[in-house]
């Protein structure tokens, strides 16, 4: 999806290019880049891209939104664009209108549960919620209900994740939501987490594309032993492996995104696509990121260099919405339950 | 700026699913009739001439080729379905596989019309088997070091020299080989090799078997002594084989056979583990399934891009690189998980036999048809490093 295919993605690419240059951001210790970037994204209608127009959004297709988030990964975007899009999408499942401003989704891990109390309030504790500290509202899945909650009514224990972005604990203690509506029949936490997982997969794939490009460029500049390091076969083969990891991540993530975008309902093939994307992209983040750092040597380990913006975020994104080991267990259970002779028909179903 | 890699999310069209049902039904009949045992990839006799003819009669060989040569003018994605179903079923495809995948397309592109009319319909009927004569005792990955000579004589060439590691040469009716017609030039060491169509089972050709560590007999040494090849069996440009070698590689490198060679051990592991796996088995199976799914999506994507007339050379090399490494590692990962399978699993013996065979097969997977090292060189060139 490197070529911009339509106006939505082109718009996003332009904003990322103009206002989220990794080099500029990396040197801006005060975070002055953040609000112009968010403002431009908001003016372009991107944070609420997945919200239908009658719910206050810009009504872009799922496919366009996924392409935007793959591009966001290529730029290691560090504002809650993906999170707000996911929150808007979740709220729209229950036809709840989205407010303006930053949002995020709760829960963001498989173990956490939020409960809807008899009096209409919400209780529970959610860990590793991305960008909770920056959010004005939360989109919450509580059992069979979806709710819009003001962030100010919750207790937030701020934390910083592996990638340098907020990853916070949100405690809801009988919080009265702005709105609560029933989720669509059959919609559950698994589907929310898989959607989040596919979003993270696309971001990881994008970050790997960027790491490949940065690493190839560096290897063609850096001279050691009197030649460019790109001329050493050991370096070439490492970069070829990085290309393989990047390619696998891209294929897995875009295939899963395409599946969700064209889904006629949740089934085993949908699960296979989404879970596999999270598993394979997470593995690629580890293997690919290690090679990108190896090629860069010590310079890539410095805070001044941009590589960490991509490599650490890709590693951090593995943990959101269920890690690869979590989804591998779930996928393995599903495969075992279907039985050996139904494995190939599942793999070859599309 | 690195050229971006593309893996478009290609889906198989509806007509492929109808075809898939037909292929599965056909294979089920063949299994029921005892043609082959899908649980035994290591059977001794993988040459199945009658099976080959029945596949041909179905219209599944040369299925993308023009009808006038016996083809069906169907898409690469349809061929993909036939190939993957045969592979997963462990069907005995040896007799026709090389001809269908590689030799036929080379003939289509470079053979004179009367040769095409003679040979291609016989491939489509599943009657003839092809071998590929590339490697020599001192020329493996370094293809352009080939020394076997083709010396010009009246009406053709005389061949002298030795090809080696030639799969199926002992059953093949034809070989497509490269021979040296001129010395390399200073400017171009790849110059001087020519591609030929060679009729096997003739005087002047001696095929010597070479044993393999799997216990199978698959590859051979092929010795040519004053063997005559007529002029009309020259394929393409004299001295210019190097220009022809690369374009077909995308087809050869990215097919389902590049990641499904040892797939059967995964199926058998799932059977052995049963419906309620412990956490370790579930995670192990989940990771392996995620890999095979991703490999297939990449491979289908390349097939779709080929069908659309694109030339995804780097993408195809990536599929073979990571696909063969995956199918090589697969039996080892399954072995680790098999250690925890209950004694009571009814297929335990089958799984153990399969693992033993797959582990012995594994080393060749990253060598045949272009080594990992060669592939990574191609990928590196595509990345702009060479």
DSSP string, A47-87: TTTTS-GGGTS----HHHHHHHHHHHHHTT--STHHHHHHH
The pLDDT score that the predictor gives to residue B380 is 96
Contact B271 A340 (CB under 8 A): yes
Is residue B364 within 8 A of residue B135, CB to CB? The reply is no
Residue B374 in this model has a pLDDT that exceeds 60: yes
B158 CB neighbour count, 10 Å cutoff: 17
Cβ <8 Å between B297 and A252: yes
Give the pLDDT of residue A203. Answer: 98
Task: Out of A29-33, A156-160, B68-72, pick the least confident.
Answer: A29-33
DSSP classification of residue A160: B
Portion 297-316 of A in contact with B at CB < 8 A: none
Output the pLDDT for position B44: 54
B28 touches A: beta carbon within 8 Å: no
Q: Which residues pair with A137 in a beta bridge?
A: A103, A150
Place of tokens 């709710």: A147
Q: Is B278 on the interface with A (CB under 8 A)?
A: no
Weakest-pLDDT range from A5-14, A235-244, B248-257, B335-344: B248-257
Q: How confident is the model at residue B4 (pLDDT cuts 50, 70, 90)?
A: confident
* Chain A residue with Cα closest to B24: A345
Residue B292 CA to residue A71 CA, distance in Å, equals 26
Which of A232, A240, A252, A346 to substitute to test the interface with B, most B CBs within 10 Å? Answer: A240
**Residue whose C-alpha is closest to residue A319's, from A161, A86, A119, A87:** A161
Beta strands A103-106 and A137-142 are parallel
B4 has a chain A CB within 8 A of its CB: yes
pLDDT digits (tens, 9 = 90+) for A179-198: 999 999 999 999 999 999 99
The Cα of B163 is separated from the nearest Cα of chain A by a number of Å equal to 29
B25 touches chain A (CB under 8 A): no
Note whether B290 contacts A252, CB cutoff 8 Å. Answer: yes
Q: What are phi and psi of A192, to 5 degrees?
A: -60, -45
Q: Which two tokens stand for residue A344?
A: 């190939």
Q: Do B277 and A239 touch (CB under 8 A)?
A: no
Q: Which residue has the tokens 């582990």?
A: B359
E strands, A158-278, in order: 167-175, 179-182, 223-224, 227-228
Are A348 and B92 spatial neighbours (Cβ–Cβ below 8 Å)? no
Answer yes or no: is pLDDT of B45 > 80.
no
Rounded Cα gap, residues B112 and A112, in angstroms: 69
Mean pLDDT of B120-149: 94
In chain A, which residue's Cα lies nearest the Cα of B4? A2
Q: Shortest CA distance to A42 belongs to which of A100, A99, A97, A86?
A: A100
Which residue of chain A is at minimal alpha-carbon distance from B21? Answer: A345
pLDDT category at A3 given cuts 50, 70, 90 is: very low
- DSSP code of residue B240: B
Mean per-residue pLDDT over chain A, rounded? 96
- Indicate which of B297, B326, B330, B377 best probes the interface with A, i.e. most A CBs within 10 Å of its own CB: B297
Rounded CA gap, A182 and A330, in Å?
26
The pLDDT, as a whole number, for residue A350 is 86
A348 burial (CB, 10 Å; 0-12 / 13-18 / 19+) is buried
| DSSP conformational letter for B100 | I
Contact call for residues A247 and B5 (beta carbons, < 8 A): yes
Q: Does A198 touch chain B (CB under 8 A)?
A: no
Compute the distance between CA of residue A91 and CA of residue A181 in angstroms, rounded to an integer.
9
pLDDT of A4 reads: 45
Is the per-residue pLDDT at B60 higher than 50?
yes
Residue from A251, A263, A268, A271 whose CB has the most chain B CBs within 10 Å, to mutate: A251
Given a cut of 80, whether residue B49 has pLDDT beyond it is: yes
Residues in B closer than 8 angstroms to A279, CB to CB, are 286-287, 290
CB–CB of A243 and B379 under 8 A? Answer: yes
Contacts of B294 in chain A (CB under 8 A): 248, 251-252, 255, 276, 280
Chain B residues with beta carbon closer than 8 angstroms to that of A110: none
Residue B48 reports pLDDT greater than 50: yes
Q: Which of B304, B294, B141 is nearest to A244 (CA)?
A: B294
Q: Which residues of B touch A283 (CB under 8 A)?
A: 287
Residue A335 near residue B289, CB atoms below 8 Å: yes
Residue range B135-161: average pLDDT? 94
Task: State how far residue A258 is from chain B, nearest Cα, in angstroms.
Answer: 7
pLDDT at residue B253, rounded to an integer: 78
pLDDT on residue A62 = 97
Residue A142 pLDDT grade (very low, low, confident, very high; cuts 50, 70, 90): very high
Asked if pLDDT for residue B3 goes beyond 80, the answer is no
| Contact between B284 and A332 using a beta-carbon 8 Å cutoff | yes
Task: Quote the CA–CA distance of A266 and A190 in Å, as a whole number.
Answer: 10
Query: Which of A239, A243, A251 is facing B298, going by the closest CB pair?
Result: A251
Mean pLDDT, residues B293-307 taken together: 94
For residue A1, give how far its alpha carbon lies from the nearest alpha carbon of chain B (Å): 7
* Alpha carbon distances (Å) from B129 to A114, A245, B72, B176: 65, 37, 19, 11
- From chain B, the residues in CB contact with A275 under 8 A are 286, 290
Q: Answer yes or no: do B380 and A244 touch at CB < 8 A.
A: no
Are the Cβ atoms of B293 and A347 closer than 8 angstroms?
Answer: yes
pLDDT higher than 60, residue B169: yes
CA distance A111 to A116: 17
pLDDT at B251 over 60: yes
pLDDT tens per residue across span B180-215: 999 999 999 999 999 999 999 999 999 999 999 998
How does residue A2 score in pLDDT terms, banded at 50, 70 and 90? very low
pLDDT at B73 over 50: yes
Half-sphere exposure of B53 (CA within 13 A, CB side): 3
User: What torsion do the CA atoms of B247, B250, B255, B257 make, to the nearest 10 degrees?
Assistant: 80
Preferred mutation among A336, A337, A342 to probe B, highest tally of B CBs within 10 A = A336
Interface list for B 307-366 with A (CB within 8 A): 314-315, 318, 321-322
pLDDT 10s digits, B257-286? 999 999 999 999 999 999 999 999 999 999
| pLDDT value of position B1 | 39
The verdict on a CB contact (< 8 Å) between A336 and B273 is: yes
Instruction: Establish if A282 touches chain B: CB-CB under 8 angstroms.
Output: no
Average pLDDT along chain B: 93
The predicted model gives B15-26 an average pLDDT of 96
Using a 10 angstrom Cβ sphere, with 0-12 exposed, 13-18 middle and 19 or more buried, the burial of residue B271 is buried
Interior angle at CA A155, CA A29 and CA A137, nearest 5: 70
- Report ipTM (2 d.p.): 0.96
Mark yes or no for CB contact B385/A332 under 8 Å.
Answer: no
CB contact under 8 Å between A239 and B385, yes or no, is yes
Q: Select from B175, B219, B218, B226 the least CA-distant residue to B197.
A: B175
- As given in the structure block, the two tokens for residue A8 are 């939505």
In this predicted model, which residue has the larger pLDDT, B247 or A313?
Answer: A313
């Amino acid at each position: 999806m490197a070529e911009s295919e339509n106006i939505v993605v082109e718009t996003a690419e332009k904003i990322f290019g103009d206002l989220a240059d990794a080099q500029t951001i990396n040197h801006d210790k005060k975070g002055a880049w953040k609000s112009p970037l968010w403002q431009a994204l908001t003016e372009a209608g991107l944070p609420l891209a997945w919200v239908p127009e009658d719910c206050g959004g810009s009504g872009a297709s799922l496919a366009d939104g996924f392409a935007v988030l793959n591009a966001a990964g290529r730029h290691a975007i560090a504002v809650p664009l993906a999170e707000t899009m996911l929150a808007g999408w979740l709220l729209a499942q229950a036809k709840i209108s989205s407010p303006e401003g930053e949002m995020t989704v709760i829960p963001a891990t498989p173990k956490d549960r939020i409960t809807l109390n008899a009096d209409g309030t919400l209780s529970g504790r959610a860990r590793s919620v991305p960008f909770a500290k920056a959010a004005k509202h939360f989109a919450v899945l509580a059992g069979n209900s979806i709710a819009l909650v003001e962030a100010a009514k919750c207790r937030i224990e701020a934390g910083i994740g592996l990638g340098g972005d907020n990853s916070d604990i949100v405690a809801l203690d009988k919080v009265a939501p702005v709105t609560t509506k029933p989720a669509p029949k059959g919609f559950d936490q698994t589907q929310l987490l898989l959607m989040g997982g596919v979003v993270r997969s696309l971001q990881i794939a994008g970050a790997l594309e960027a790491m490949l490009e940065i690493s190839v460029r560096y290897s063609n500049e850096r001279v050691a032993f009197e030649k460019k390091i790109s001329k050493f076969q050991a370096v070439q083969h490492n970069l070829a492996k990085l290309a393989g990891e990047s390619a696998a991540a891209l294929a897995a993530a875009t295939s899963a995104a395409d599946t969700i975008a064209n889904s006629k309902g949740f089934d085993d093939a949908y699960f296979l696509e989404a879970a596999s994307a999270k598993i394979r992209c997470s593995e690629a983040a580890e293997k690919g990121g290690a090679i990108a750092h190896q090629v860069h040597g010590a310079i890539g380990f410095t805070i001044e260099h941009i590589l960490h913006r991509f490599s650490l975020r890709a590693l951090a994104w593995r943990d959101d919405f269920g890690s690869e080991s979590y989804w591998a267990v779930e996928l393995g259970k599903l495969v075992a339950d279907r039985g050996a002779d139904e494995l190939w028909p599942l793999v070859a179903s599309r | 700026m690195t050229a971006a890699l593309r893996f478009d999310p290609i889906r198989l069209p509806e007509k492929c699913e109808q075809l898939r049902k037909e292929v599965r039904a056909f294979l089920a009949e063949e299994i029921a009739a005892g043609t082959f045992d899908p649980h035994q990839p290591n059977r001794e006799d993988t040459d199945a001439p009658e099976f080959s003819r029945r596949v041909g009669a179905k219209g599944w060989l040369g299925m993308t080729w023009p009808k006038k040569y016996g083809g069906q003018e169907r898409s690469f994605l349809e061929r993909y379905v036939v190939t993957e179903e045969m592979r997963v079923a462990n069907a005995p495809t040896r007799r026709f596989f090389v001809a269908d995948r590689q030799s036929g397309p080379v003939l289509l592109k470079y053979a004179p019309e009367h040769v095409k009319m003679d040979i291609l319909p016989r491939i489509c009927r599943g009657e003839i088997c092809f071998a590929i004569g590339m490697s020599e005792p001192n020329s493996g990955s370094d293809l352009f070091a080939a020394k076997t000579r083709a010396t010009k004589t009246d009406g053709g060439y005389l061949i002298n020299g030795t090809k080696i590691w030639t799969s199926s040469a002992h059953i093949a009716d034809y070989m497509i080989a490269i021979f040296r017609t001129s010395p390399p030039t200073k400017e171009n060491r790849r110059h001087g090799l020519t591609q030929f169509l060679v009729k096997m089972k003739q005087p002047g050709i001696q095929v010597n078997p070479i044993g393999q560590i799997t216990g199978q007999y698959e590859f051979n040494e092929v010795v040519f002594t004053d063997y005559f090849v007529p002029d009309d069996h020259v394929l393409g440009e004299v001295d210019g084989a190097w220009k022809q070698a690369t374009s077909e590689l995308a087809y050869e490198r990215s097919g389902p056979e590049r990641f499904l060679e040892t797939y059967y051990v995964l199926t058998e592991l799932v059977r052995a583990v049963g419906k309620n796996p412990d956490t370790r088995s579930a995670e192990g199976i989940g990771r392996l399934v995620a890999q095979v799914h991703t490999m297939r999506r990449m491979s289908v994507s390349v097939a779709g891009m080929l069908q659309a007339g694109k030339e995804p050379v780097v993408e195809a090399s990536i599929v073979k690189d990571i696909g063969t490494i995956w199918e090589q590692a697969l039996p080892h990962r399954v072995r680790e998980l098999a250690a925890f399978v209950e004694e009571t699993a009814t297929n335990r013996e089958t799984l153990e036999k399969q693992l033993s065979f797959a582990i012995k097969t594994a080393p060749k997977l990253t060598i045949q048809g272009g080594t990992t090292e060669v592939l990574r060189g191609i990928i590196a060139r595509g990345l702009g490093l060479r």
